Amino acid sequence: MRTVFCLVNLLLCFSSFGQNSSVSFEKWLSLKQVANPVASRDGHYTAFTQTTTDWANNSYDTEIWLSQDGKEPYQLTRTTKGSSTQPRFTPDGHFVSFLADRGDKTQIYLIPVIGGEAFVITKDEDGVGTYEWSPTGKQIAYTKAEPDSAQDKTIRERYGAFSVENETFRQNHLWLVNFNYDSILLAGQLPCYKSKKDSSAGLCVELPKAKRLTSGNFSVNGFAWSPDGNTLAFTKVPNPLLPSSVHSDVALVNVASGQLTIAVNNPSSDEFDAWSPDGKQFVYESALSDSVSYYYKNPRLFVYDVATKQSKELAGDFDEQKSVVDWRPEGIYFTALQKTKSNLFLLDPSTERIKPMGEPVDIVAGVSFSKNANTLAFSGRSYEGLTEVYTSAVGGAPKKITNLSAQIAGWNTPVNEIIQWKSKDGATIEGILLKPRNFDPSKKYPLLVVIHGGPTGVDRPDPTPTYVYPIMQWCEKGAVVLRVNYRGSAGYGEKFRALNVKNLGVGDTWDVLSGVDYLNKRGLIDTSRMGCMGWSQGGYISAFLTTHTHLFKAISVGAGISNWVTYYVSTDITPFTRQYLQATPWANAAIYQKTSPMTTINQATTPTLIQHGELDRRVPISNAYELYRGLQDRGVPSKLIVYKGFGHGITKPKERLAAIWHNWLWFNDYVFGEKTAAIPTE
């Protein structure tokens, strides 16, 4: 009977080997997720995406779901061997458009809101990037990357493939395509001959061909139609490489003539956000002339008057990053972090009064307003649940239209507690303590510290925190987990985000160790059984702890920086290092040495697991090899695992499963004293 059960539930049986938890890693990784809610213009429909795990194809499949008047949603799209993304409602509300690659590059498709077969409405040989409908529905604007030129193809054919750093890229530009429903239906019904006429001459109908709208030595980022449909506003950058964002401007292009006007061009970055309802103004964010600290400072919000060409700053006293959602007659809506919460706010641009909307969730995510009705759709979650999709009248009581949290009903999820403590320099640090459901305050527990990336990330209470660290299963195993919102984390204001400037690693270590000390003073942890881990910036802090402390029995470094000089010369975001360390390595070698884990490698004694993506450009893999070689030369137990074909993140389920097992076994061995040779294979 046991054998038959395992054959039917093969993955579950594999994962249960050595795991000893009620929920397998595979089941945990297979949780469905919803995002990107979109409200129809009349407010009757809400579209959103739902992502599922496709183990057979080692991928994640995203498809579009639809709800009418808050009723139970249904799946609208099914793209074989691919996903359906970027749902939009046609202005008449009869169709949902979306992007998909169904064998002929990524194109725009239409599907009726009542269901049926989807049909393609573009045929771009290079594929579509992102797109928006004109207010009338008669045109679609979309971006796409420039195709290889004839010269590029000739050079590649003769000399093979090579690139020139900071010079080899493809600009993104705007294109326009006309839309007529009748023409779309007629396309292809009669043959279209290129070289001779036949009986169908004059009756041939093809899918409309796109017309180029912008060109030049720049790239188009986010864009939006003006309410009258005559102008497109967009963020203009020198090229699509990340460092060029410091030179971004806000541009306007006339749809009919193609005339381009630069509306906002401060010395540093300017980014378009949204048009006013009458199209006479738009809101944008800017760093003005700041090119040395915008990574950790609040971007400033401005309104630009198209007629006078004057700008006015708004909400300068609001101490967090404001993510503009929409500008409606009642004002500008934006979301912002407030410590571990994320809220929706309404800003009156005339009085600058800011009003919290009071949505009944702890974390508001995507928000969409209907254009012609007083409704909105949003995604969000409570601290105890998974992300759901809601719909409501603006200011009214929301109705939940999904029930994703039912997936974890009956799971032995940990208890989350928000805690605070004082760091070494007196800074107040907040964190999330996760405890087993049967937690006994008189007992001392093994401690695992999990550090988020960023540094401007933030951890919040979560019943099933995921990625590559099996937090839920560790709590069920009998450990407590601390997730530290160290200095630099978002949600706590600009000054807090700046506390690790010229103090990376050092101040972060104060915050982690003071948190451990706080838990120890509360009598909650067994300090002889502690581990620490993190990815990206969390991996860097973990590497710093490896070479600066001896408190942990084991550490795991995921895609972490080990040498800031190595990182600076090879990352794709060199401004990040210059801004946080306030110098280049050639101007101030001392700060690079002070904050680099490799400087103190001779102090390292902690067994360290290193995980890294083979093709990582954000934190190049040379950082992993440096740390590994240093630990090996020191005789410190260490292992480097390289995930083939991946960049900065592990984005496929099977490799994520492997990374979870690698962490599970590493800490089982060194923290829990349970030696297991390798991940299970049968």
Instruction: Write down the pLDDT at residue 587.
Output: 97
Alpha carbons within 13 angstroms on the beta-carbon side of residue 634 total 21
The single-letter DSSP state of residue 103 is S
Please tell me whether residue 610 adopts helix, strand or coil conformation: strand
- The token duo for 570 is 């090879």
- The token duo for 302 is 């401005």
Structure confidence at residue 112 as a pLDDT band (50, 70, 90): very high
Q: Which of 1, 17, 9, 62 is nearest to 681 (CA)?
A: 17
- The token duo for 578 is 């210059």
Residues 514-539 pLDDT 10s: 999 999 999 999 999 999 999 999 99
Instruction: Write down the pLDDT at residue 208.
Output: 82
Structure confidence at residue 11 as a pLDDT band (50, 70, 90): very low
Please report where in the chains the tokens 């779901």 appear, as a residue.
Answer: 65
Contacts of residue 373, defined as CB under 8 A and 6 or more positions apart, other chains included, come to: 41, 42, 43
Whether the upstream peptide bond of residue 455 has omega within 30° of 0, thus cis, is yes
Mean pLDDT for 613-637 is 97
More confident of the two residues 679 and 496: 496
Q: Rounded to whole angstroms, how far apart are CA atoms 172 and 272?
A: 16
Q: Which amino acid is at 625?
A: Y
Q: Rounded to whole angstroms, how far apart are CA atoms 486 and 498?
A: 11
Whether 618 and 571 have beta carbons less than 8 Å apart is answered as: yes
Q: Rounded to whole angstroms, how far apart are CA atoms 235 and 164?
A: 25
Mean pLDDT for 430-442 is 96
CATH superfamily of 146-171+216-358: TolB, C-terminal domain (2.120.10.30)
Residues 162-172 pLDDT 10s: 888 888 889 99
CATH superfamily of 410-647: Alpha/Beta hydrolase fold, catalytic domain (3.40.50.1820)
Query: pTM higher than 0.85, yes or no?
Result: yes
Q: Which of 425, 434, 527, 531 is nearest to 486 (CA)?
A: 425
Residues 124-155 pLDDT 10s: 999 999 999 999 999 999 999 998 888 888 88
Instruction: Work out the number of other CB atoms within 10 angstroms of the CB of residue 128.
Output: 23
Residue spans per domain, the chain: 32-126+178-211+365-408, 146-171+216-358, 410-647
Whether 220 and 236 have beta carbons less than 8 Å apart is answered as: yes
Least confidently predicted of 21-30, 174-183, 323-332 = 174-183
Structure confidence at residue 197 as a pLDDT band (50, 70, 90): low
Instruction: Write down the pLDDT at residue 15.
Output: 40
Instruction: Write down the pLDDT at residue 517.
Output: 98
For Cα atoms 98, 99, 102, give the angle at the middle one, nearest 5 degrees.
120
What is the average pLDDT score of the chain? 92
Structure confidence at residue 319 as a pLDDT band (50, 70, 90): very high
Alpha carbons within 13 angstroms on the beta-carbon side of residue 82 total 13
Please report where in the chains the tokens 């490698």 appear, as a residue.
Answer: 601
